[in-house]
Each structure stands twice: as C-alpha cells, then as structure tokens.
C-alpha cells in the first residue's frame, strides 16, 4: 500500500526507511552491510537514482515518494495499492513509475492505481472503475474509455470544459512587483531563488510553473513571509515596498497564501471547521474582548456555503473532512480576510474533480472582482487553462515568461527543463 | 433514554467514576473522610492544587510546560513571608510586590523560550533549580511565619477565612441564576445561528445536576465554618481562565499554537507574544498559589511547594489535556486536581507513609490516563 500522504521517518536514511521494521539482522544487531546492499539492489532494480545513505529529510517530496514506492516493492508484494502516487512527482519521475508498473504487471503483480490524473489512469490501467460518494459508478475497459467519459461519470453532470473560461479583462494596475529577488533557505544557507522578477496586475491570473524543486513553493512562501532569508532584490505590494515579510504583516497588507502542504501550514486538524475558518480574522468578530459565536457563524456561513461546504460539517473536526473540503476551509479562511493578492500553491493537489471545479470557479470570481491571483501548479493543463500569463521557473531562476497566445505544453515544458527549443518551433 | 446515552458517553464519566471509587474507598477505610471538617480541608487543598493546575493548563495548551512552578510557589510565598515577618511590611504591599516579581520572572523565562528557541522543558528545569536555590537563600533555610506572633493579616487569612454560612447561601441563587441565564443565551444564539442545539431536556438535566452539586458543596461547607476563601479564589481564577481560553482570540491562539504551530504562524497568529502572555499569567497564578500554599502551611519552610508542579501537570493530563498541546479544558483540569487532592488528603487521613503516598499517586496518574486513552480509541 502506498499512500498519498507520505509516511516516512525524516531523520532516518533512505535504506533505514525502506527496511523499517524488517531490517536484515546479525544476531541482535542490524546488519548494516546487508541493509545497504539490499537497498542498493532494490533501487537499482527499478532504476531509482537515490543515495541509500542520505537522510530522508534532505530529499525533495518527489524523491520521498520514490523511497515509499521502493519500500512497498521491497516486500515482494503480489498486490500493490497506489493512492495518488504521482501527486508530487515530476513528469520524468511519473514516466519512470509507469515503466516500473508495467514491469510489475509482467511479473504478475496486481496493481490498484488510485488517481485524479485521468491521463495517467488511461495510460496505465487495463480496467477503470469510477467511484463517486463511496459507490461504484462504472467499471470500463481502459481502451474504450475517453477522458470526457470519465469526467462525466466522476462529476455526475455534463461539463463542457474542465477549466471554466472567463472573460479576461486586462487591467494595468500592478499590485505585486518582484524585482531581482534572491533568497536562501534559513537552515542550509543554500541559495534557492535567484534574480527573479515578475509583476502581477489586478484582475489577472499569473501562473507559475516548473518541475519539482524548481523553487515554486519557496517563492510563494517567501513572498508571504514563511520561508527563507532575502539576499537581494525588492518586493512591493500595492505600490509599497515590503522588505521584511511575515504572515501577520502580509495578511494586513492584503496578501494571502493558500499553501501546498495544508496539513502542515494550513490547518489545526483537531479543531472544527468554523474554528479554523475564523483563525486569521478573529478581530472582526470580537466584541468586548470575547469572540462572538453569532457573528462568527453569520460571517463564515456565506463563504463556506459559496464554496460548497455543508452546514452540518461546521462543527466537525477538520481531520474528519475530505481533502477537497479541507482545501475549501483553507480557502475560506484566507478569502475572509478580504485579500487583494491571492497566492495559490497547488490548490487542487489531491482533491476530487468536483472540488477542483469549485476552486476554479472561485479563482475566476476573484479575478472578476479585480483581485490578483498567483497560481502555482505542477499540472501544465491546469496552468494553461487558468492563467493569463505564465512564468516558468527552472532551478530557482526564471526560465521564461509566456502570454496566452504562446501557451503550448511543449514550449512550457522545454522552459521548465531548462532546454532551448529551436526558435522555429515557437 | 437513548438521547441521554448519546450525550453522556462512558468517556465523559471516566473521571467522575475514578473519583467516586477513590472517595468510596477512603470513606470505608476511615469514616472521618466524609466529615464536613475534612471535606472543608480537602476543598482548601484542592483549591491550591487546582489553581496551579489551571495555570499549568495555560502553558500546556500551546504545547509548552512549566517545571519551575513548584519551586516558584515556595519562593514567591517565601519572599512575601520575609517581607512581612523580617522587614515588617504590611501584608497587601508584600503580596503585591511578590506577585509582580513572579509575573516578571515568568515573562522573562518565556522570552528566553521564544526568542532563543530553547524548549520550555529545559528553561523551566533551570528555573526549578534556580528558584529553589534562591528560595532557600531568601528564607535562610529556616521557618518564616506568614504573620508575626499569632496575629492575622491578609496573607494568613487566605486559607483560614471562611465566608459566613448566610453569605454562601445568598450567593448560591445568584450563581445558579447566572449559569441558567448564560445557558439560555447560548441556546438562543446557537439556534439563531443555525447551529445544532442541545436537547432541552438534557440541558435542563445538566443544569439541575450542576445546581445540586453547588448546593451540596455550600451545605457541606456551612456545616463546618462556611465556604473557604481559598475555594472562592479558585472559582474566580478558574472562571477567568475558562473565559480566556474558550471565548477570547487569545484562547483560540493558544489552542492553535498547540495544535499546529506552523499553521498558527501562517494564519498570522502572534505566536511569541501569546506564549509570553500565557507564561506571564502562569507567573501570576504561581504567586497566588504560593500565597495560599504557604498560608495553609502557616509558615514558609524549605519544603513548601515541593513536587507541586508534578501534581499540576498530572491534574491537567488526567483532565484530558495533551502534553503536545492543543487539547484540554478547565473543567477537566479541575476534576484532575480534585482526584489528586483527594488522594493526598485521604492518605494523610489514613496516616500513610510518605513513600506509599508517592507510589499511589503515581499509579493513579498512569491508570487514569490509560483508561482515558483506551476509551478514546473506542
């Protein structure tokens, strides 16, 4: 079983993680040589390029996923269940995984592959089963299934397009300007962002793309004040210079971040939906020093309602909700602080198609209200479908900026991988 | 009946059951245990433990801990005693001065914790040793009475003053009326906001039980000398902390920091300031506990406050608080403190050896938490 959420021990090495609980022994002691050889063998068998002695903490999220997959494969399993295995993988890593799965299929291993990414499902699966609200909707042969069929079964209603169109009304008011920004991680001092410049106007969606580890999340988190130390460059928000960001100041200036890692940065899981939604804006519902429950519900309800969170779940603990609903809670909280600039980091990662649509609608509505949106996504179709302009990052630098008429998957991917396309293909 | 079973699950009844078992066994072993005199003493002892425990809850909620509380109780009580007995200050200014000192010291410790990112465990462990040493220096390892030669002052009255029976009986209807009004207001608010409203019958039943318990408490106290002042102090402190953690932004921040500090930071919670505030309040509560505990002993001696931090932490944990933070209630903590205080009181009454007292308290703490964890799993 491979989970969507990572289940690794950060402070142990790759080898220790792969054989956790099943270490080769030498009497009472762990046989380190055997452990390392066995790990090397497993990694090499599936062409994973990982150092078995590296601490998992030092790996990127995509590499961590590989470790988890290697752990499952090392058990000589007959049935492999993969729950959103590619949520954090880059395209080349996905291809590798697909290859491994085909290999396994030939060896007679059965795979259950759970994913929201329909292309992958079509590519790898022999048969496809669509579930909705805990029930089987349909099981079909993969070669007969088209993407739009699948989407149709998943949402239960006809949608003409996955990405709802909007009329893009270009304004000229620049609300977020980043000039030659460089920043380094606080703990390792390694420079992760270099010489980054871009600007965002009110009423537009700026897409930011790039491969895993290109610095997309770091960039957003740095602008919001959650990550890194600034080495140089200027950031201005709504025309004002913003040199020392912190989340508290960002919120006051109308800059909000919907994080990629909502369990870590977005939610207090033990607490209720309403409680989490209110956390950033308690001042406005406080009377005589006490939080007013009436005001709280009256204020939160329309927002949650609009995003499609049921009233019966307001008092449920957030950890009982689905990923999609959790994301809506994070979104509600941030939108309630009435932001001017919304930074979205992988807002649709690991959530169901219906919730995705609601989030796309919300993005369009924000833009219609003249807010600025910065959208980071590892899914190129999503970036292309939702953005007015796209900036591609490659290893912490800007690898290209594209306008709507230049959007093509190949061009963007070339920029993301840092390779030059011959000019005639543009 | 089914509705009733849904609200009053076994889990909610664990602590009352544990308490009932303790009380029944002690009253069988020694019929003096349920005498009004002993129950009044128990209430004062519980007031001291519970006040400190409620303060401890404030630092446990954001995921910290305070090991220096016990030493602090001794030291702050000792300073007040020295000011009165040796330097001849009158009681109110000496209490006030030591109170202010405690708030400053705890704010200082908290500043170290949040600015230098050292765990509270380490800093307050240092505080435990440091305060104990200072305490012994200040009272010169001798016995310093809280009031000179048989006089009474504000300090000594803290645990020896009892409200006259009529005052207790007069306050009772006022408090009960207040509780009912708040409950009614809460129900109205919830139904107006469209939230789930508890069944009317169950609310009435709960209110009725609460009123009965209060009535019984006052009645028992009045059979001896009346409601002790210490108990009233506990009620005020507990009520204030309860309102703070459940109904103010600060309280929500405390739960948020304990539940997920990174998320709290990302949500714009002023994490450092809130933690410093929680510790400062803890300092104030340590001072109040110190005054009560020293007054209860009659004098400041080297052993006052010893191991009290552990009783306070135990009370929080028995009351359902998580040492990781983010979980715990004032009501639960009060129950936990009552369990710990009952054990100590009962065993003292049975003239148990100090070793046996320690062993029993340890076992009960572990058992109570085990039962709680087991029930939570179900």
- The confidence band for A424, taking pLDDT boundaries of 50, 70 and 90, is very low
pLDDT > 80? residue A160: no
Residue in B272, B257, B250 with CA at minimum distance from that of residue B322: B257
Domain final residue, candidates B227, B254, B277: B227
| Residues B47 and B123 placed together within one structural domain of the fold | yes
Rounded-to-integer distance, Cα A68 and Cα A34, Å: 20
The whole-angstrom separation of Cα B148 and Cα B155 is 11
Across A250-269, average pLDDT: 91
Query: Which pLDDT belongs to residue A59?
Result: 78
Contact A283 B249 (CB under 8 A): yes
Same-domain check for residues B55 and B181: no
Q: What is the predicted pLDDT for the residue at B341? A: 93
CB B98 within 8 A of CB B338: no
- Least-confidence region, from A151-165, B153-167, B265-279, B342-356: A151-165
- pLDDT above 50 (res B154): yes
Q: Count CB atoms within 10 A of the CB of residue A70.
A: 22
Q: Which residues contact B133 (CB under 8 A, 6 or more apart)?
A: none
By CB neighbour count within 10 A (0-12 exposed, 13-18 middle, 19+ buried), where does B265 fall?
A: buried
* Whether residue B263 sits in one domain with residue B209: no
For residue B69, the model assigns a pLDDT of 96
Q: Which residues of B touch A265 (CB under 8 A)?
A: 262-263, 266
Min CA distance, B190 vs chain A (Å)? 7
Please name which of A169, A332, A170 lies closest in space to residue A256, comparing C-alpha atoms. A332
Q: How do strand A255-258 and strand A240-241 relate by DSSP bridges?
A: unpaired
Q: Do A267 and B196 touch (CB under 8 A)?
A: no
CA distances from A198 to A284, A391, A404 (A): 33, 8, 16
Site from A253, A274, A282, A327 to mutate, B interface, most B CB atoms within 10 angstroms? A282
Residue A177, φ and ψ in degrees, nearest 5: -125, 125
Residue A87: band (very low, low, confident or very high) from pLDDT cuts 50, 70, 90: low
Length of chain A equals: 426
B33 DSSP 8-state letter: G
Q: Are A6 and A65 in contact (CB under 8 A)?
A: yes
- Report the C-alpha dihedral over residues B67, B236, B19, B354, rounded to 10 degrees: 40
d(CA B319, CA B329): 7
Please give the tally of structural domains in chain B: 2
Q: With an 8 Å Cβ cutoff, are B263 and A265 in contact?
A: yes
* B314 in the same domain as B207: no
Return the closest-CA partner of residue A336 out of A354, A312, A355, A309. Answer: A309
Min Cα distance B126 → chain A (Å) is: 27
DSSP state string for B238-249 = HHHHHHHHHHSH
Contacts of B327 in chain A (CB under 8 A): 270
Report how many Cβ contacts below 8 Å link chain A to chain B.
83
Q: Does A311 touch chain B (CB under 8 A)?
A: yes
Percentage of chain B modeled with pLDDT above 90: 60
Cβ neighbourhood burial of B177 (10 Å; 0-12, 13-18, 19+): exposed
| Alpha carbons B105 and B127: distance in angstroms, whole number | 9
Residues 136-195 of chain B with CB under 8 A from chain A are 186, 189-190, 192-195
Interface probe, candidates B267, B324, B326, chain A, greatest A C-beta count within 10 A:
B267
CA angle A222, A228, A231 (to 5 degrees): 95
CA–CA separation, B20 and B137 (whole Å): 43
> Residue B12: its pLDDT value, please?
67
Residue B10 in this model has a pLDDT that exceeds 60: no
- Pairing relation of β-strands B299-300 and A191-201? unpaired
Question: Most B CBs within 10 Å: which of A264, A278, A279, as the mutation test of the B interface?
Answer: A279
B222 shares its domain with B157: no
Residues of B whose CB is below 8 A from A294: 189, 192-193
Q: Are residues B19 and B131 in the same domain?
A: yes
More confident residue, A61 or B123: B123
Distance from the A425 Cα atom to the nearest Cα atom in chain B, whole angstroms? 43
Q: What is the per-residue pLDDT across A286-337, written as a single tens digit (0 to 9) for each?
A: 888 898 887 888 888 888 888 888 878 888 899 888 888 899 999 999 999 8
Q: Is there a single domain that holds both residue B84 and residue B221?
A: no
Closest CA to A69 of A35, A31, A29, A109: A109
Handedness of CA B173, B179, B183, B188 (dihedral sign): positive
Whether B256 contacts chain A with CB within 8 A: yes
- Residue pair B315/B340 in contact by the 8 Å Cβ criterion: yes
Judged by CB atoms closer than 8 Å, whether chains meet at A226 and B267 is answered as no
DSSP string, A276-299: HHHGGG-GGGEETTEE-HHHHHHH
Which residues of chain B have a CB within 8 Å of the CB of A224? 266
Instruction: Report, as an integer, the average pLDDT of A376-390.
Output: 87
Q: Do both B249 and B297 map to the same domain?
A: yes
Pick the residue from chain A with its C-alpha nearest to B322: A270
| CA dist list (Å): A381 to A293, A314, B21, B41 | 42, 33, 65, 73
pLDDT band at A187 (very low <50, low <70, confident <90, very high): confident
Which among B195, B248, B270 has the least Cβ separation from residue A314?
B195
Domain that holds residue B83: 2-161+228-377
Asked if A259's CB is within 8 angstroms of B266's CB, the reply is yes
Q: Across all residues in chain A, what is the average pLDDT?
A: 83
Is the same domain home to B281 and B317? yes
Closest CB to B193 among A250, A252, A297: A297
Judged by CB atoms closer than 8 Å, whether chains meet at B193 and A294 is answered as yes
Sign of the CA dihedral running A85, A88, A91, A96: negative
Which one of B197, B227, B257 terminates a domain? B227
Segment A99-153, tens digit of pLDDT:
878 877 887 778 888 876 777 888 888 898 888 767 788 888 888 877 777 767 7
The minimum CA-CA distance between A339 and chain B, rounded to whole Å, is 13
Give the tens place of pLDDT for each residue, B303-326.
999 889 999 999 999 888 888 889
Is residue B62 located within the same domain as residue B200? Answer: no
Nearest to B83 by CA among B176, B158, B17, B155: B155
CATH code given to domain A14-125? 3.40.50.300
CATH code of the domain covering residue B336: 1.10.3470
Phi-psi sector, B306: left (phi>0), alpha (psi -120 to 50), beta: beta
Interchain CB distance below 8 Å, B266 and A314: no
The C-alpha of B170 sits at a distance from chain A's nearest C-alpha, in angstroms, of: 29
Residue B353 tokens, joined: 């050896």
Q: Residue B9: pLDDT above 80?
A: no
* B116 and B19 in a common domain: yes
Give B333 to chain A, closest Cα distance, Å: 19
Q: Are A183 and A218 in contact (CB under 8 A)?
A: yes
Q: Which residues of A touch B273 (CB under 8 A)?
A: none
- The CA distance from A301 to A295, in Å, is 10
Q: How far apart are the first and last CA of chain B?
A: 21
**C-beta atoms of B194 and A301 within 8 A:** yes
Q: What is the rounded (10 degree) CA torsion for A80, A84, A86, A88?
A: -130
Q: Would you say B259 and A271 are in contact if contact means Cβ atoms under 8 Å apart?
A: yes
Q: Which of B208, B227, B246 is the last residue of a domain?
A: B227
Per DSSP, helices labelled H in B260-327 are 261-266, 271-297, 308-318
pLDDT band of residue A426 (cuts 50, 70, 90) is very low
DSSP string across A214-279: SSHHHHHHHHHTSS-EEEEEEEEETTEE--S--HHHHHHHTEEEE-S-IIIII--TTSBHHHHHHG
DSSP-derived letter for residue A167 is: -
Q: What ipTM, to 2 d.p.? A: 0.84
pLDDT tens digits, residue range B32-91?
898 989 999 999 999 999 999 999 999 999 999 999 999 999 999 999 999 999 998 899
pLDDT beyond 70 at B328 = yes
Interface of B with A in 84-123 (CB under 8 A): none
Pick from B195, B243, B252: CB nearest A279: B252
Quote the tokens at residue B316: 């929080």
Q: Of the candidates B186, B189, B260, which has its C-beta nearest A268's C-beta?
A: B260
For residue B11, give both structure tokens.
């889990």
Whether residues B240 and B215 fall in one domain: no
- Answer yes or no: same fold for A14-125 and A183-418: yes
Chain B residues in contact with A273 (beta carbon < 8 A): none
CB contact under 8 A, B247 and A259: no
Torsion, CA A186, CA A340, CA A256, CA A283, rounded to 10: 120
Q: Judge contact between A98 and A110, C-beta under 8 A.
A: no
Fold of A183-418: Rossmann fold (3.40.50)
Domain boundaries, chain A: 14-125, 183-418
Residues B247, A301: C-beta atoms closer than 8 Å: no
Nearest-CA distance B366 → chain A (Å): 24
pLDDT of residue A156 exceeding 70, the answer is no
**Distance in angstroms (rounded) separating the CA atoms of residues B222 and B201:** 31
**CB distance B316 to B56 below 8 Å:** yes
B-facing residues of A in 279-308 (CB < 8 A) are 279-280, 282-283, 286, 289-291, 293-294, 296-298, 301
In the predicted structure, residue A5 carries a pLDDT above the cut 80: no
* Whole-angstrom distance, CA of residue B78 vs CA of residue B133: 12
Using CA atoms, how far apart are residues A407 and A415, in angstroms rounded to an integer? 12
Give the pair of three-digit tokens for residue B110.
């908290």
Helix-helix angle A323-336:A293-306, to 10 degrees: 120
Q: Which long-range contacts (CB under 8 A, 24 or more apart) does A410-418 make?
A: A412/A209, A412/A380, A412/A383, A412/A384, A413/A91, A413/A380, A416/A209, A416/A210, A416/A211, A416/A214, A416/A392, A417/A211, A418/A394
Q: What pLDDT is attached to residue A159?
A: 41
Task: Tell whether A317 lies on the interface with B, counting CB pairs under 8 A.
Answer: no
Q: Name the closest residue on chain B to residue A333, using Cα atoms.
A: B267
Can you tell me the distance from the alpha carbon of A271 to that of A277, in angstroms, rounded to the nearest whole number?
A: 10
pTM: 0.81
The secondary structure element, H or E, covering residue B237 is helix B229-247
């Amino acid at each position: 079983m491979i989970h969507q959420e990572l289940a690794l021990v950060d402070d142990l090495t790759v080898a220790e993680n792969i054989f956790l609980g099943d270490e080769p022994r030498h009497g009472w002691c762990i046989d380190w040589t055997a452990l390392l050889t066995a790990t090397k063998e497993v990694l090499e068998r599936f062409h994973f390029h990982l150092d078995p002695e590296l601490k998992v903490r030092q790996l990127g999220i995509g590499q961590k996923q590989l470790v988890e997959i290697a752990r499952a494969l090392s058990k000589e399993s007959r049935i492999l269940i993969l729950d959103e295995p590619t949520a954090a993988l880059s395209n080349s890593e996905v291809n590798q995984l697909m290859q491994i799965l085909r290999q396994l299929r030939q060896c007679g291993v059965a795979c259950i592959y759970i994913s929201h990414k329909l292309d992958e499902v079509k590519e790898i699966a022999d048969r496809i089963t669509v579930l909705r609200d805990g029930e089987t909707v349909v099981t079909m042969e993969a070669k007969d299934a088209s993407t739009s069929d699948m989407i149709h079964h998943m949402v239960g209603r006809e949608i003409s397009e996955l990405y709802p169109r909007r009329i893009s009304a270009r304004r000229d008011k620049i609300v977020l300007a980043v000039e030659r920004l460089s920043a380094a991680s606080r703990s390792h001092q390694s420079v992760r962002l270099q010489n980054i410049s871009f600007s965002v106007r009110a009423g537009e969606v700026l897409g930011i793309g790039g491969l895993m580890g290109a610095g997309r999340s770091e960039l957003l988190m740095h602008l919001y004040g959650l990550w890194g130390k600034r080495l140089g460059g200027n950031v201005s928000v709504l025309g004002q210079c913003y040199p020392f960001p912190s989340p508290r100041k960002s919120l006051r200036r109308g800059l909000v971040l919907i994080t990629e890692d909502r369990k870590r940065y977005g939610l207090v899981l033990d607490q209720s939906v309403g409680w989490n939604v209110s956390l950033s804006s308690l001042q406005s519902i406080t009377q005589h020093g006490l939080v007013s429950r009436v005001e709280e519900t009256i204020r939160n309800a329309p927002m949650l309602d609009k995003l499609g969170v049921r009233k019966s779940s307001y008092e449920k603990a957030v950890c009982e909700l689905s990923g999609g609903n959790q994301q809506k809670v994070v979104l509600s909280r941030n939108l309630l602080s009435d932001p001017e600039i919304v930074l979205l980091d992988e807002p649709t990662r690991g959530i169901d198609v219906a919730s995705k649509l609601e989030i796309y609608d919300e993005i369009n509505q924000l833009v219609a209200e003249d807010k600025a949106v910065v959208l980071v996504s590892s899914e190129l179709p999503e970036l292309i479908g939702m953005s007015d302009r796209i900036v591609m990052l490659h290893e912490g630098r800007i690898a290209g900026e594209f306008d709507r008429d230049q959007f093509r998957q190949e061009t963007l991917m070339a920029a993301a991988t840092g390779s030059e396309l011959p000019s005639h293909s543009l | 009946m089914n509705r009733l079973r849904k609200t009053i699950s076994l889990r909610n009844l664990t602590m009352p059951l544990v308490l009932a078992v303790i009380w029944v066994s002690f009253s069988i072993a020694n019929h003096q245990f349920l005498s009004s005199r002993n129950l009044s003493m128990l209430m004062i002892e519980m007031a001291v433990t519970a006040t400190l425990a409620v303060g401890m809850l404030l630092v446990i909620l954001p995921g910290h801990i305070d090991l220096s509380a016990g030493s602090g109780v001794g030291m702050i009580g000792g300073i007040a005693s020295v000011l009165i007995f040796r330097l001849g200050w009158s009681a109110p200014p000496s209490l006030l001065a030591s109170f202010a000192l405690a708030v400053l010291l705890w704010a200082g410790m908290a500043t170290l914790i949040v600015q230098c990112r050292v765990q509270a465990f380490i800093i307050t462990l240092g505080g435990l040793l440091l305060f104990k040493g200072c305490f012994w220096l200040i009272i010169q390892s001798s016995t310093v009475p809280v009031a000179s030669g048989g006089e009474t002052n504000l300090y000594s009255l803290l645990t020896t003053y009892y409200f006259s029976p009529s005052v207790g009986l007069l306050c009772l209807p006022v408090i009960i009326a207040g509780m009912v009004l708040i409950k009614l207001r809460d129900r109205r608010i919830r139904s107006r906001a469209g939230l789930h409203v508890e069944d009317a019958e169950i609310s009435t039943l709960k209110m009725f039980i609460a009123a009965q318990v209060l009535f019984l408490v006052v009645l028992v106290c009045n059979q001896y000398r009346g409601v002790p002042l210490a108990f009233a102090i506990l009620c005020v402190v507990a009520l204030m902390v309860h309102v703070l953690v459940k109904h103010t932004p600060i309280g929500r921040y405390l739960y948020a920091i304990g539940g997920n500090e990174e998320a709290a930071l990302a949500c714009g919670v002023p994490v450092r300031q809130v933690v410093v505030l929680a510790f400062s309040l803890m300092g104030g509560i340590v001072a109040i506990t110190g005054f009560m505990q020293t007054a209860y002993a009659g004098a400041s001696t080297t052993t006052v406050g010893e191991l009290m931090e552990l009783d306070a932490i135990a009370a929080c944990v028995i009351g359902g608080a998580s040492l990781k933070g983010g979980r715990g209630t004032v009501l639960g903590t009060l129950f936990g403190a009552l369990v710990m205080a009952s054990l100590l009181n009962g065993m003292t009454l049975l003239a148990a050896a100090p070793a046996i007292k320690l062993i029993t308290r340890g076992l009960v703490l572990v058992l109570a938490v085990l039962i709680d964890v087991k029930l939570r799993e179900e």
